[in-house]
Amino acid sequence: MIIQTDRSNATDRGTIVKKVEAIVRHFKLEDVKNALTDQGIHGMTVSEVRGFGRQKGHTEIYRGTEYAIDFVPKVKIEVVCTDENLQTVIDTILQTAQTGQIGDGKIFVTNLEDSIRIRTGERGEDAL
């Protein structure tokens, strides 16, 4: 049995909503948050995450013994914005999170089918 539902999304209404996920160093979180706020971007979600990229972790010495740290602690910042604000969000994160060293992180951008404010039921850009 196939059930079809009316999936009216943001692109049907002419607004494209994007989700920007940025994996950055812990000490850059406050700088990124303040810079985004200064640019008029106010909503974000922050999570502590662990992972590795090309550097594949690192080693540390504790009490004379060397330990391999496979998963490096980072912070993931998620920002949902309109297509109009996308480049501002990306540029702001790049400028504030970059140290020039290996392990600065990554930025991922995806299209969101829809966004809905739970309190009011508003959708798309109105829900942001």
Residue-wise pLDDT for 113-126, tens only, equals: 888 899 999 988 88
Arithmetic mean of pLDDT over the chain: 85
% of the chain at pLDDT higher than 70: 84
> Residue 58 pLDDT > 60, yes or no?
yes
Higher pLDDT, 6 or 65: 65
Closest CA to 28 of 88, 99, 102: 99
What DSSP string describes 86-124? Answer: HHHHHHHHHHHH--SSTT--EEEEEEES--B-TTT--BG
- pTM metric for this prediction: 0.78
- Domains (range + CATH), the chain: 17-51+65-112 (3.30.70.120)
- 7-53 residue pLDDT tens: 444 445 556 899 999 999 999 999 999 999 999 998 999 999 998 87
> What is the dihedral sign for C-alpha 85, 98, 48, 68?
positive
């297509």: which residue's tokens?
83
% of the chain at pLDDT higher than 90: 56
């790049």: which residue's tokens?
94
